[in-house]
Structure 1
Amino acid sequence: MPVNMSNAHCGVIIMSGNKAVWMHIGAGSFHRAHQAWYLHSLMQQGDDSWSIALGNIRDDANALLGALAAQKGEYVLETVSPDGERQYETITSIRKVLAWDSEISALVAQGADAQTRVIAFTVTESGYYLTPEHELDMQQADIKADLNGGIRTLYGALTRILTQRIANNGGPVTLLNCDNLRHNGERFRHGFLSFLKAKGERALYDWVKHYTTSPNTMVDRITPRPTPDVAERVLAATGIHDAVPVMGESFIQWVIEDDFINGRPALENVGVELVESVLPWEEAKIRILNATHSCIAWAGTLIGLSYIDESTRQSAIRQMAWEYVSRDVIPSLTPSPLDLAKYRDVVLARFGNPYIKDTNQRVAADGLSKIPGMVTPTLVQCYQRGATPSATAVLPGLFFLFLRRWADSTLPYTYQDGVMRPEAIKALFASDDPLATFAKDEALFAELAQSADFLALLRRTVAELEQWVKQPQAQLATA
């Protein structure tokens, strides 16, 4: 297929007489509070050369998409600072809402159009179906379905979209991962190419290798699921009746490796950091922010709390998080171009923001992907340098107790985990030694699954945590 590569890798491109489209897959709150805000900010500067087309692979966002379409893609973003200062902004960067159907027809048509120069996505950590060795997990039911022509996953959807793009001579396109996944561009790309190879899509495999890029990125903004009071505040502050407002913290950050194959928006003009390698920012964010976030959510849930901010303000929980970062993560990431201690303190301050009301339920999700991706690397590195990761072991210890509550049906909410096999978890807790079975799971702990020292450490840690959980009056003291 002839493809015009004259524009590849040459920065910001505006097609003569046409606008460029950033198609985003994943209609969740995070995209609308993060990437859409940056594109809107460019428009506010007078640069309207790019706009967003937003769609979803599955049918779980139909109500949102319908409401957005009725509002012509516009909605109000509420941000709140740790001091309680709220600001309201109408976001206008989503110029096309792609209605869902079982064949994802609108996504296919938009993704195949030559005006679409970036296809970005937020499908959560578990949406990539990777093993601890970062290989595509061919045993997952959704992957099996898509290898047989389905579109349950990002891989199946992109197969359909890019096949049509080739047929339309749509040209090169950047495939941009915006999820919290270490080496997210590389890991997605390897998973996608593995999928295409397994599916026998040789021509598409070759096209993806030559006519797409997948930069690594680091994204950051705490964005809780919107509750009804957000719309009430929006109405009171702006007079706008918004069916789908979104809220987030005032802090925002985006770091991207500058490797776009067919042009990009001038994101550097609105505070995005375009870098050669995202690795230092990525590692700090995943280990210090993401892993700590989950630690706080699991711990707070275990002692009967509902929100991240109130959990963070419990002295025992805050100390767990502080010790984990200070004793184990910072030595693992040193040297770094970032001030890691300052980053730790900023993160904990953000988590304690009493105006965000992010739920433990949201942050606790997908633990079976978070442990191997966010926690196990620190455990391994501690042992490699001869240190015992006592502070880090608290995180899998908390998650074990959290999973036990799930197996006992005593969690206060529904737990969502994209790679969970419920029967396997129930079998684990029905075994003679659930903790040993848990510790020996290579999918969670890689080479540490064979370590007697790690199992002994986890036994001590879980025993201490069980005693802590049994003392509610002692622990519910605000730091």
Structure 2
Amino acid sequence: MADYFDIKNNAEQMSVQNYARSDVINGVMHLGVGAFHRAHQAVFFDRLLAHSEGYKWGIVGVNLRAQDRPSFSQLETQKGEYILKTMSADADIEYEYIRSIVGLIDGSSTPQKVDDLMASQAIQLVTFTVTEGGYYLDENKMLMLDHPLIKEDLKGERNTLYAFLYAGLKQRSQLINGKITLLSCDNLRHNGQLLKAGLIQFLKAKNENELISWVESNVSFPCSMVDRITPQPSQQHIDDVQRRFGIADEMTVMGEDFIQWVIEDDFAGERPPLDKVGVEFVKDVEPYEEAKIRILNAGHTVMVYQAALKQLTFFDEAMQDSELKKYFRDFILQDSIPAIGQSMVDLSAYSKVIERRFSNANIGDTVERICTDGYAKFSIFVYPTLDAIFRLGGVPHKTIAGIASWFVFMNKVANGELNIPYHEPNLDKLHEFSNDESGINAFVMDSFLWKNVPSDFPDFAVHLRSAIELEQKKYP
């Protein structure tokens, strides 16, 4: 396969890994070819393909959703190739020609091709990036069997990750009986365990006992931690690449200069030698997960609604605001790090790295983007710190202040008092959190968000009510 872009005249300005796409064998299947995958996992595999033992780890990107067809179609036009623009906090800019996605399948229109690929001997690894809600698990890790999309999939439709995995794994078990690894690449802690729990429950609901036994013996579900701030694709960067290099790349993706991937060393079949390109294989991912989720993800979450109430546009502006910068540091030092406790990760040094990354004005990560999906983010990213500090005998004041800002934010948006779109997949769950006594009580006592904290620690309700009142006075 020839390269799509001719970059001979730009070779000194753009890095390109030294391999021929015609030599690459497809060994990885990725479900959901979004911007984060293209700025993260695809980059590591692009670097791996330049190694002599990396030739059989090309990626086949699979689109699962009909609404993603337009961008996927453009990626097909470009043969899976695009330019990655990396921007540091010091305004250093690098451009990379990424070519590791060597095949593309639109599973939303041709699902059988997805099954055929998953059943091929060459495919050793299936990776995917899904949102927090994409696992369809409740707070007890039970599959939401009453969810409309799960109901449809149990009848044979193709809406969720489970439907595609079910069909592909069943065909693989029947045709080649080959071991395979399913690797989650998202922000959930214990993501591999969650995937396995959801998939097994889905198979049980399908009465696929024989397939369950096969999965238990032939499929592994390693946990992983992925990290790179990747804003939504911007026309600004597309225009920059087209102007600078004279190539018609409509799929330019931009990311920060920090990139990290930590994977539990649990592969059912062959393991890609990603350690040669900076990926860490470890026995236990949890310390890395906890550091990232409780400092980076939780830091984003507790700060962003305060930034929105201040009507800031970009997240780096929050780090230039003296009040919010102090708040972030206090949240980390007073709540987040004490809640984590002992760790093999240097949490103090890590938090300084996160602060520097959050301050990167070149990223242009928007407050609007980070505000998305608060209902899931607070329960996943913020709750553990809230609970841990109370159990240590303290009061997580900074965490509670962040929670209060979300309550005030959501009500101002609902009342048309704040000019920012709020993209909330669980909007129906927020309707009862109205800005009155009953709404505040429902919010404070919500068992999905705060689990047993309200009952185990009655002071939580007192402090949260007080913090909400303070935020309301601050942003009347």
State if a TM-score over 0.5 links the two structures: yes
* Matches of 2:290 and 2:284, distance apart in 1: 11
Map of 1:445 onto structure 2: 450
How far has the Cα of 1:134 moved from its partner? Answer: 2.6
- C-alpha deviation, 1:250, in angstroms: 0.6
Partner of 2:97: 90
Return the structure number with greater relative CO, CA threshold 8 A, min gap 6: 1
| Structure 1 residue 410: Cα displacement | 4.3
Quote the offset at 1:444 in angstroms: 0.7
Q: Which amino acid aligns with 1:445?
A: W
Does residue 33 (structure 1) correspond to residue 39 (structure 2)? The answer is yes
Aligned CA distance change for structure 1 residues 291 and 101 (closer, same or farther; 3 Å): same
Q: Are 2:444 and 2:465, in contact at CA under 8 Å, matched by a contact in 1?
A: no
- The Cα shift of 1:421 comes to 4.6
Match of 1:351 in 2: 358
- For 1:139 and 1:458, how far apart are their aligned partners in 2? 33
Aligned AA for 2:138? T
Q: Does residue 395 of the first structure (1) align with residue 402 of the second (2)?
A: yes
Aligned to 1:465: 471
Q: 2:71 aligns to what? A: 64
Counterpart CA distance in 1 for 2:304 and 2:474 is: 16
Task: Give 3-state SS (helix, strand or coil) of 1:90's partner.
Answer: strand
CA displacement, residues 137-194 of structure 1 (integer Å, 9 cap, x when unaligned): 3333222222232222111221122122223225111010001001111111112112
Structure 1 residues 428 and 468: CA distance shift in structure 2, 3 A: closer
Q: Is the 8 A contact 1:33 1:223 kept in 2?
A: yes
**More deviation in 258-267 or 189-198?**
189-198
Q: Equivalent residue of 1:331, what SS?
A: helix
Deviation at 1:240, TM superposition (A): 2.2
For the pair 1:199 / 2:199, whether they are aligned, the reply is no
| 1:320 and 1:394 in contact (8 A); partners too | no
Alignment pair present for 1:292 and 2:292 = no
Q: Is the 8 A contact 2:413 2:419 kept in 1?
A: no
What is the correspondence of 1:62-461 to structure 2 with a 5 Å cutoff? 62-102=69-109, 104-418=111-425, 420-422=426-428, 424-429=429-434, 432-450=437-455, 451-461=457-467
Q: Deviations over 1:364-383 (max 9, x none)?
A: 11211111111111111111
**1: CA distance, partners of 2:168 / 2:418:** 40
Q: Is the 8 A contact 2:24 2:55 kept in 1?
A: no
- Aligned residue for 1:4? none
Give, in whole Å, the separation in 1 of the partners of 2:335 and 2:60: 42
- Give how far 1:111 is off: 1.6
Runs of 4+ in structure 1 displaced over 4 angstroms? Answer: none
- Work out whether residues 79 and 248 of structure 1, in 8 Å CA contact, stay in contact via their aligned partners in 2: yes
Q: Is the 8 A contact 1:126 1:417 kept in 2?
A: no
Q: Deviations over 1:264-301 (max 9, x none)?
A: 22100000011000111110000000111122322211
The 1-side partners of 2:273 and 2:298 are apart by 31
Number of aligned residue pairs: give it. Answer: 452
Question: How big is the shift at 1:430?
Answer: 7.3
How far did residue 60 of structure 1 move? 2.2
C-alpha offsets along residues 390-444 of structure 1, whole Å, 9 cap, x if unaligned?
11112221221222234324453433333x152x422332774211101211111
Q: Distance in 1 between matches of 2:414 and 2:203?
A: 36
Distance 1:84 1:347 in 2: 17
Say which SS state the counterpart of residue 318 (structure 1) adopts. Answer: helix
Choose 243-252 or 329-338, whichever is displaced more. 329-338
- 1:342–1:262 distance in 2 versus 1, CA, 3 Å: same
Evaluate the alpha carbon distance shift between residue 209 and residue 49 of structure 1 in structure 2; reply closer, same or farther with a 3 A threshold: same
CA displacement at 1:228 relative to structure 2: 0.6
Does the CA contact (< 8 Å) of 1:27 and 1:61 recur in 2? Answer: no
Name the CA distance, whole Å, in 2 between partners of 1:327 and 1:112.
Answer: 50
Q: Distance in 1 between matches of 2:417 and 2:172?
A: 48
Instruction: Give me the whole-angstrom Cα distance separating, in 2, the residues matched to 1:459 and 1:103.
Output: 52
Which of 13, 16, 21 is residue 27 of structure 2 equivalent to?
21
Q: Give SS of 2:59's match.
A: strand
- 1:475 is aligned to none
Is 1:136–1:195's contact at 8 Å kept on the other side of the alignment? Answer: yes
CA deviation profile, 1:6-48 (whole Å, cap 9, x unmatched): xxxxxxxxxxx99352100111100000000000011233432
Contact 1:296–1:312 (CA under 8 A) maintained in structure 2? no
Q: Secondary structure at the match of 1:241?
A: coil
In the alignment, residue 370 of structure 2 is paired with which amino acid? Answer: V
**TM-score, normalised on structure 2?**
0.91
Confirm or deny: 8 A CA contact 2:149 2:159 kept in the other structure.
yes
Q: How has the CA–CA distance of structure 1 residues 238 and 31 changed in structure 2, closer, same or farther, with 3 Å as cutoff?
A: same
Structure 1 counterpart of 2:469, one-letter code:
A
Counterpart amino acid of 1:446?
A: K
Q: Identity of paired residues, percent?
A: 37
